[in-house]
A and B are shown apart, each in its own frame.
Chain A
Amino acid sequence: MTATDVQAPAGPSRMRRGAQQAGKSVRLLPAVGLFLLLLVGWEVYVQVSGINSLLLPPPSAVAESLWTDWQIYEPELLVTLREAVFGFLLATVVGIGLAIIITSTKVMRLAVYPLVIASQAVPIIAIAPLLILWFGFGETSKVLAAALVAFFPIVVGAAAGLDSLDSGAVSLMRSFPASRSQVFLKARLPNALPQIFSGLRVGAVLAVIGAIVGEFVGADQGLGLLLARANSMLQPVTVFACIVLLALLGMVLFLCVVVVEWLVLPWRRGGQR
């Protein structure tokens, strides 16, 4: 790198940022285009082949159901949303806390990390009935199921991030001299943020899955319950509508994390990708 590579932080880079945002909306086009194309293909296939609509309803019917029966979907959606969000927040606190413990000393890493991995080796579907037995059919057991699935990528991401501080940076901080807690708060933690957010993005999507699995196993409300019932009552339109809402739910949570990341990590907005 030479002096000519330097860009003044004021005008030009802000213009470039604007151009990047325009570029981002252009990048959305292929995904939207492909999605629409698949929808059209599906609709045409259902109409032309005359397939039994109990097996595969046309997307137009799914959209219509979402529109006319919204008062059925909305409360269930809100329940699942709440479970996923609280589960995700719990997973964030526990996950980052565990990562701090794991990276604090070698003994802690050897003691805690294997248990964290073991907790993931057991499928959530095997643990969920126990959670329901212990915490009932209400939202608590679903929040815990969501948290149990979502915390793993958060622990792994945060632990990797906390480990990634260069030893030279530690030497620099200690030469001032900075205390252990100052090294952690002013260097190790901020340095870990990009990797913590990678874990949070994955965790946000997994939290929805955890909540749904919990609802499948036993619940009195929620999209998962609605979906399971519709399935057993041969209502494929409702099943598909639930699937659409779940997909949207996961994407919205994911986007929320991305927005927070954008706000918290301003230095990552330009360039480094």
Chain B
Amino acid sequence: MCGLQVSFGDFTAVQDLTFEVQRGEFLSIVGRSGCGKTSLFNAVAGLLKPYAGTVEYRGDDVSGRPGHAGYMLQRDHLFPWKKLLDNVVIGLDVLGSNRKASREKARALLPRFGLEGFQDAYPGQLSGGMKQRAALLRTVLLDRDLLLLDEPFGALDAITRGELQAWLLDLCDELQKTVLFITHDVEEAIYLSDRVMVMNGPPGHIADTVAVDIPRPRHFADVVTSQRFTELKHRLLDDISAGRTA
């Protein structure tokens, strides 16, 4: 059981926001840009000490104390001076793990992340999709049960994005992680998630929470053409536009 409670008093970013995420759950947060989603993530990751309220992880107060979550930011932030393999193990290197063992572990996962044969490539030689997969591999290698993914596919073209969404769905099934996923794409949120929260603001607050009762495994074309999908999408879009007039 992984219980998370976040509440803030900082009016500029996020205000009085409370939610929980269950272990193994895929929870998406949708909202327009600037509504405080990334501030929320920085607080959940322990990078930002909340002005008021607490972040709890498995019963411990982790406010302002990073290290419990694997955090993938909007941009890949692969370091241009490191080869791919050294880039994906940087977290383990920082934590002082055995360098050789971490590289072996990473090498074994390259095929699953579609990066086989590119371990010696510099980020400048990789495509956008590969960089995002490498950034995700870097996050996964930390071996944290909680993953924070902040618009991981935001910067990609539609085709690459679709491919990566399906791939992520499979991967999450396999890894059994708890995932918090930020996006401004409602379809992506429904397709991937167990639950979707709509965040409006600023100041950021939860406008609605919707359980996605579409059975898994999900096939993209089937899901997005189903009636349930359309109903959910309609409700979420209404929630988001209600936030604009407010």
Seen from chain A, the residues whose Cβ lies within 8 Å of a Cβ on chain B are 1-3, 5-9, 13, 166, 168-169, 171-178, 182, 186-187, 190-191, 193, 265, 267, 270-272
A187 to B91, CA, bound (A): 12
A175 to B38, CA, bound (A): 14
B125's partner among A9, A169, A173, A265 (CB-CB below 8 A) is: A9
Q: Assuming the A-B contacts A169-B77, A190-B81, are A176 and B124 also in contact, with contact meaning beta carbons closer than 8 angstroms in the complex?
A: no
Seen from chain B, the residues whose Cβ lies within 8 Å of a Cβ on chain A are 42, 45-47, 66-67, 69-71, 73-75, 77, 79-82, 90-91, 93-95, 117-118, 120-122, 124-130, 142, 157, 160
A186 to B91, CA, bound (A): 11
User: Is there contact, CB below 8 Å, between B79 and A175?
Assistant: no
User: Is there contact, CB below 8 Å, between A267 and B81?
Assistant: yes
Q: Assuming the A-B contacts A174-B66, A175-B45, are A166 and B127 also in contact, with contact meaning beta carbons closer than 8 angstroms in the complex?
A: no
A168's partner among B45, B74, B117 (CB-CB below 8 A) is: B74
Number of A-B pairs whose CB atoms are under 8 Å?
Answer: 87
A197 to B128, CA, bound (A): 28
Kindly report which residue of chain B lies nearest to residue A187, judged by CB atoms: B79
Name the A residues within 8 Å of B95 (CB-CB): 176
Q: Assuming the A-B contacts A168-B75, A169-B77, are A6 and B94 also in contact, with contact meaning beta carbons closer than 8 angstroms in the complex?
A: no
Name the B residues within 8 Å of A9 (CB-CB): 118, 120-122, 125
A120 to B122, CA, bound (A): 39
Name the B residues within 8 Å of A187 (CB-CB): 79
What are 15 A-B contacts with C-beta separation under 8 Å?
A1-B127, A2-B157, A3-B160, A8-B118, A9-B118, A9-B120, A9-B122, A171-B45, A171-B47, A175-B45, A186-B90, A186-B93, A190-B79, A193-B81, A270-B124
A191 to B80, CA, bound (A): 8
Q: Assuming the A-B contacts A7-B125, A271-B124, are A172 and B71 also in contact, with contact meaning beta carbons closer than 8 angstroms in the complex?
A: yes
B contact face: mostly helix, strand, loop, or mixed: loop
A176's partner among B42, B91, B130 (CB-CB below 8 A) is: B91
Name the B residues within 8 Å of A8 (CB-CB): 117-118, 121
Name the B residues within 8 Å of A169 (CB-CB): 77, 79
From residue A168, how far is it (CB to closest CB) to chain B in Å? 5
Q: Assuming the A-B contacts A171-B47, A172-B71, A176-B142, are A1 and B81 also in contact, with contact meaning beta carbons closer than 8 angstroms in the complex?
A: no
Kindly report which residue of chain B lies nearest to residue A265, judged by CB atoms: B81
From residue B179, how far is it (CB to closest CB) to chain A in Å? 15
From residue B90, how far is it (CB to closest CB) to chain A in Å? 7
User: Is there contact, CB below 8 Å, between B75 and A186?
Assistant: no
A2 to B157, CA, bound (A): 8
Q: Assuming the A-B contacts A175-B47, A267-B81, are A2 and B121 also in contact, with contact meaning beta carbons closer than 8 angstroms in the complex?
A: no
B127's partner among A2, A173, A178, A191 (CB-CB below 8 A) is: A2
A186's partner among B45, B94, B129, B130 (CB-CB below 8 A) is: B94
A-B pairs with lowest CB-CB distance, top 4: A175-B71, A177-B66, A9-B121, A267-B122
Name the A residues within 8 Å of B81 (CB-CB): 190-191, 193, 265, 267
A85 to B127, CA, bound (A): 43
